[in-house]
Structure 1
């Protein structure tokens, strides 16, 4: 078999899964319930974030938080301050791709 397959978690439990972490990309699957999210941090690569379900509330650098619903893809440049949250009752599910893969 040439291809390698990966399975993402299913359900509504909080998850931050490192699905693929290699020298090319970092591919993460994340699930957050109401008032959950990531600690504020700076992006260490170009970040491509796809909302699979729910509503993403994200503040970038010094901007006020913006909200994005399912089927939205965000492109966030390296070095951007990020505050990622789910401020809604519906479960938030996102795919995060970092490309190129961070060096550190």
Structure 2
């Protein structure tokens, strides 16, 4: 078999699963219920965040929170402060791709 197969969690419990982490990319699947999310942190690569279901609440650097519905793709630059969470009733499902893979990101 040439391909590798990965199965994503279907919820509804809080999930942050690092599906693929290799030399090319980090591919992360996340599920958050209301009032769940990630601790504030800085992006360690370029981040491509797709909202698959629900509504994402995100604060970037010093901006006010923004809200993004399912079907939205955000491109977030390296070293951006991120506050990712779900402030809505519906389950929030995200796919996050980090490229290049953080372990290969050029450091200062």
TM-score normalised to the size of structure 1? Answer: 0.98
Equivalenced residues, count? 104
Is 1:43 aligned to residue 43 of structure 2? yes
5+ residue gaps in structure 2?
Answer: none
Question: Which residue is equivalent to 2:4?
Answer: 4
In the alignment, the residues of structure 2 paired with residue 77 and residue 40 of structure 1 have an alpha-carbon distance, to the nearest angstrom, of 15
In the alignment, the residues of structure 2 paired with residue 19 and residue 103 of structure 1 have an alpha-carbon distance, to the nearest angstrom, of 16
5+ residue gaps in structure 1?
Answer: none
1:19-75 deviations in whole A, cap 9, x for unaligned?
A: 001111000000000000000000000000000000000000000000000010000
TM-score normalised to the size of structure 2? Answer: 0.94
> What is the RMSD of the two structures over their aligned residues, measured on CA atoms?
0.8
